[in-house]
Amino acid sequence: MSTPEADHSRDPCPIVILSDFGGAFSMGAIGGSIWHGIKGFRNSPYGERRIGAISAIKARAPVVGGNFGTWGGLFSFYDCSIKAIRKREDAWNAILAGFCVGGSLAIRGGPKHTFNSAVTCACVLAVFEGVGMMFQRYMAWANKPVAMPLPEQQAGPAPLGA
Amino acid sequence: MSWLFGSKQEKKETPVAPAGQAGFDANQISDISSILKSNTLDPTKLHPLAGLDKDIEYLDLDEEKLTSLEGAGNGLLPSRGWTDDLCYGTGTVYVLGLGLGGIRGLNEGLKNLPQGRVDPVTNQLRPVPFKLKLNTVLNQVTKFGPHMGNNAGVLAIMYNLIDSSLDNIRNKHDDLNSLAAGFLSGALFRSSKGLKPMGYSAGAMTLVAAAWCGLKRVIN
């Protein structure tokens, strides 16, 4: 399989889905507790700010975590499946996986809503991939190898006429 | 359409080097170490600073290194540190909770399927359309599944964070840490409900942690 662009910093495919579920869930839950903690604190009246923050975290943070986790895990699942079918790794994998995720998550809203959501998700992923590629190219350009400086001329016989 | 389904894998023919050209006979080589240790590549002829008189050394990439904590490495998967533990542990528990909750929701939905109404004019039972039944079941699945998954996932996050912290404080990874992490995470999970629910939840999580430790022992 010639996939020179394969990402070796990640675990191999079927098992990485679990890791992505967990990573996305943790990110969502921890980020959600910070977000909703601050929001609950600010939206509570004086004297109830701490308990307001705690109840907001309890009510909302697991839901945010769940939303993130489902998204990330489904994305990883589709990404792995598409990799297994196409037998190559490129930006199209992420875009197709994004299309599938957007469609799956909106499947209960009817065909039109499903399609719109899928296309939106694919566009978002395409932008991500594009920005990533641009960044990669910029880094390659900025760190391109520099030719070694020429060594000093050996003090040989003086050129004629000098 | 090759961008979608991938192009056909072409078989590459590996050219066989004729004997003697590469310094060894390709037909007589069975494994790589016999090439590297053969006379054609005598390490003692090289500079001593290169350290080539030792046995073969393999490249040891830093980010692939497994955790070196005492007692670690008896889990189901190799772990490279606390992030691996957190991601894999939380992911597994979250998916399990989601699945179990989904099954429970499926059960509830199938139990409470909408009944058909009796038509008052013709006095016949009007069947419920399939879409309505499907909707009922799906509603129950999406009500119970994420609820259980979220709770289980939050518990797993707390357990793994506390467990890894205790590991790093005590510099070893053993069952005691697991039990303590289970107790603390269970207590924290119900900490706003009063002392009694806190105790129940802490006890239950300690039991779960003990079961996990026992499972690891049985598998290894």
Structure tokens at B25: 């006979």
pLDDT at B52 exceeding the cut of 50: yes
As a whole number of angstroms, the distance between CA B158 and CA B209 comes to: 12
Q: Which chain A residues contact residue B146 at CB under 8 A? A: 63, 66, 70
DSSP state of B59: -
Q: Which chain A residues contact residue B154 at CB under 8 A? A: 29, 61-62, 65
What sign results for the dihedral spanned by CA atoms A53, A55, A60, A61?
A: positive
How confident is the model at residue A124, as a pLDDT? 93
pLDDT at B149 exceeding the cut of 70: yes
Closest to B192 (Cβ–Cβ): which among A26, A54, A73? A54
Cβ distance of B88 and A18 shorter than 8 Å: yes
Q: Which are the contacts of A114, defined by CB distance < 8 A and separation ≥ 6? A: A103, A106, A107
Reference A67, options B28, B94, B51; nearest CA is B94
**In contact, A62 and A69? CB cutoff 8 Å:** no
Gap from A152 CA to chain B (nearest CA, Å): 28
Q: Which chain A residues contact residue B89 at CB under 8 A? A: 22
pLDDT at B2 exceeding the cut of 80: no
Q: Which residues of chain A have pLDDT under 70?
A: 1-9, 153-162
Q: Which chain B residues contact residue A9 at CB under 8 A? A: 63
Q: Which residues pair with B70 in a beta bridge?
A: B172
The residues in B 49-78 lying below 8 A from A, measured between CB atoms, are 63, 77
**In contact, B153 and A66? CB cutoff 8 Å:** yes
What ipTM was reported for this prediction? 0.79
User: Which string of DSSP letters, residue by residue, matches B118-140?
Assistant: EPTTT--EEPPPHHHHHHHHHHH
Cβ distance of B87 and A69 shorter than 8 Å: no
Nearest chain A residue to B61, by CA: A9
- Mean pLDDT along residues B2-30: 54
Please tell me which of A146-155, B60-69, B77-86, B154-163 the model is most confident about, judged by mean pLDDT: B154-163
pLDDT at B153 exceeding the cut of 50: yes
- Mean pLDDT along residues B167-181: 87
**In contact, B49 and B43? CB cutoff 8 Å:** no
How confident is the model at residue A158, as a pLDDT? 58
**In contact, B193 and B178? CB cutoff 8 Å:** no
How confident is the model at residue B19, as a pLDDT? 45
The verdict on A143 touching B (C-beta cutoff 8 Å) is no
How confident is the model at residue B8, as a pLDDT? 52
Please give the torsion angle defined by the CA atoms of residues B190, B192, B195 and B199, in that order, rounded to the nearest 10 degrees. Answer: 10
How confident is the model at residue B193, as a pLDDT? 86
The verdict on B82 touching A (C-beta cutoff 8 Å) is no
SS3 content of chain B, % helix, strand, coil (to 5): 60, 5, 35
Q: How many CB pairs under 8 A join A and B?
A: 83
Q: How many residues are present in chain B?
A: 220
The verdict on A58 touching B (C-beta cutoff 8 Å) is yes
How confident is the model at residue A2, as a pLDDT? 40
pTM of the model: 0.73
Q: Which chain A residues contact residue B192 at CB under 8 A? A: 54-55, 58
Amino acid (1-letter code) at residue B62: D
User: What average pLDDT does the structure give for chain B?
Assistant: 79
- Mean pLDDT along residues B48-73: 62
Q: Which residues pair with B125 in a beta bridge?
A: B118
Structure tokens at A49: 């700010």
